[in-house]
Amino acid sequence: MSSPRPSLSSTVRAFVVGCIIAAYRPRPTLNVWRWAEKWINLDPLASPAFPGQYDSSINPYTRFIQEFATDPYHNEFIVMKSSQSGFTEAILNIIRYLVANKPTNILYAINALDEARKISKTRLQPSLEKCPETAQAIGENADDFGNLTMFLRGMVLYMIGAHSAGAFANKPVGMIILDELDKHPVAPDGEAETIDLARQRFKTIPDGKLIALSTPKKEEDVTYREYLTGTQHKFFVPCPHCQAMQELVWHRVKFGHCIDMLGEYDLERVKVETYYECEACKKPILESHKNEMLQAGEWRQTNPKPFPGRISCHISDLYSPFANATWGMLAMEWINAQTSIVKLQNFFNGRLGLPSKQQTAEVKEADVVKLRGAYKRGQCPFEPVLITMTSDKQGDVLKWTKAGWKATGECAIIDYGYTLVEDELLEEMDVPVECLGSTLRPTATIGLIDEGFAQTIVRDFVVRSEGRWYASKGRGGIQVRSTVHESPADHKDCKLTIYHYDDDDFKKQLYLSRIAKFQDILDGKCRVPRLWLPANIDQDLVDELIAEKLVKEKNKWGYTKEIWKKTGDKNDFGDAVKMQLVLWHILGAAYQD
């Protein structure tokens, strides 16, 4: 039989006693990372790459932010980071240290509640229970400790999803940590970002500290803007040959010599022969030199006039000690990313920790006309590995496209049209396609339909299609967790999978790459796969493929934003072609293998 839950009065009493005890605790003699090296043992499930006793020398650049926790001169730390920098573990060390040595209320906010729960359950709570220095702070109330709001000795730890202004209200805290800041949604009233809400909590707490870290998305987003106002620290490391101190940057990673006789990259050579060129002596620096360079590295401030008290820093995976982030592995990833603007942006954001630059683009009629091939509607100019259909529903009209695919991602629009009845899409799937130079007459096998304006009707049709059609919806960047995200849904006793995709990413892939760079694709200057259109296209298709353009506009706070603006009445066929790229993103890897 489980023990009764402690009363509120006993919980409050334990909290107050903890505060009194903390006031008489001797001052710690170790800083955060030295304390963590002594007391923190990482579970193999939580840290599969580097399990066991915490060792700050693996990624010594994270000592910088851990020292901030006891820094009396600065109250904000902004990190613009790559995906495998090790900074998340460093943040957890700060929390562990404060629990053991300097209890203060902490609020940890990440973009989604389930992410907060995952970090709490798999990484933070087990380490607090395992460490002798922090286990005694948990006390007897295990129920309170197991929740996202943890009542510890002399402090409360709030683990939340940054979904509303209310999440920050009425929580007196001494430290706020904002993780994955660029993915945080704006407050419902549209007036404040989470970092501003966090700063408001410190108006009555003069010694409060704020940490914000994120992989950046775009230049106009909050992480990059805040980074520019801080010290802009960068990590400099010495060349093993001439000792010249330098920041590691992507354009000095060299693998152009790994070319085979056909002029293509030999990926096996790229993996092992990629090196870094010293900016001073030009000698090759090998992956085996990285560790000794990191140990001798130092952070240097590059902004002479930062906002008072605000540290900011940038780190990329060029410094990462992880096995899948060697310079050779990054080079192979960059080569693969050349086939997609989405992959290339993800490489710069996730691997280099750099934001995407704002762009403008407008597709002209002449750009679309150039895409025509020597084949007619109903035909495919090559033997496809897959034939797909997509449909964009606007009101009562469904506009559809049919496309054939090569394993490389090359796409030919076979036909297009419109209907008023969803079930006619099933009939169109079964219409055979004439493949030039082949006697095969394949049919479409799978379809993707937009449910944005008629969710119930579309899901009814998806159920009737018996696995041949899937529902989808394009969303803004902060509303979707990845380029394409699978969301389970229940509909009339049926289990469905709804595909939510980043609308901006796929519009850029279609308009900025496949259409705007068509001539560069033909000339071999761009590795993006080609998009084909039939020779006998009509004006409706052309008009709807040029009905949107990417522009820069200032919002009401004065920040410049990229937005897609309609220049024509309709863009339904454009959306249907864009959805073909979404469907290939979902299915293409299997056919490439």
pLDDT tops 90 at residue 548: no
Q: Where are the domains of the chain?
A: 8-232, 242-298+326-351, 361-592
Tell me the H-state helices in 409-529: 423-429, 455-465, 503-507, 518-522
Mean pLDDT of 516-520: 85
Beta-strand (E) ranges in 326-396? 361-362, 379-380, 386-394
Q: How buried is 198 (Cβ within 10 angstroms: 0-12 exposed, 13-18 middle, 19+ buried)?
A: buried
Q: 442: which 2 tokens? A: 């394949």
Round the CA-based radius of gyration of the chain to a whole number and report it: 27
pLDDT at 165: 54
What confidence tens digit (pLDDT) does each residue in 8-40 have? 454 455 455 555 555 555 566 799 999 999 999
CATH number at 8-232? 3.40.50.300
Helix (H) or strand (E) holding 447: strand 446-450
Helix (H) or strand (E) holding 369: helix 365-369
Three-class SS string for 13-75? HHHHHHHHHHHCCCCCCCCHHHHHHHHCEECCCCCCCCCEECCCCCCHHHHHHHHHCCCCCCC
Averaged pLDDT of the chain = 86
CA separation for the pair 559, 190 (Å, rounded) = 14
CA separation for the pair 186, 247 (Å, rounded) = 34
CATH number at 361-592? 3.30.420.240
Write the DSSP symbol of residue 317.
Answer: G
What confidence tens digit (pLDDT) does each residue in 128-172 have? 989 999 988 886 555 555 568 888 888 889 988 876 556 666 677
pLDDT tier for residue 5 given thresholds of 50, 70 and 90: very low
Share of the chain above pLDDT 70, in %: 87
Write the DSSP symbol of residue 318.
Answer: G
Residue pair 561/554 in contact (Cβ under 8 Å)? The answer is yes
pLDDT at 144: 54
CA separation for the pair 223, 302 (Å, rounded) = 17
CA separation for the pair 193, 164 (Å, rounded) = 10
pLDDT at 7: 46
Q: 340: which 2 tokens? A: 């997609």
Write the DSSP symbol of residue 529.
Answer: P
3-state helix, strand, coil in the chain (%, to 5): 35, 25, 40
pTM of the predicted model as reported, rounded to 2 decimal places: 0.73
pLDDT at 50: 87
Residue pair 422/461 in contact (Cβ under 8 Å)? The answer is yes
Mean pLDDT of 165-180: 79
CA separation for the pair 499, 392 (Å, rounded) = 14
Comparison of pLDDT for 340 and 272, the residue scoring more: 272
CA separation for the pair 469, 385 (Å, rounded) = 18
What confidence tens digit (pLDDT) does each residue in 441-488 have? 788 899 999 998 889 999 999 999 999 999 999 876 444 446 788 889
pLDDT tops 90 at residue 589: no
CA separation for the pair 125, 135 (Å, rounded) = 10
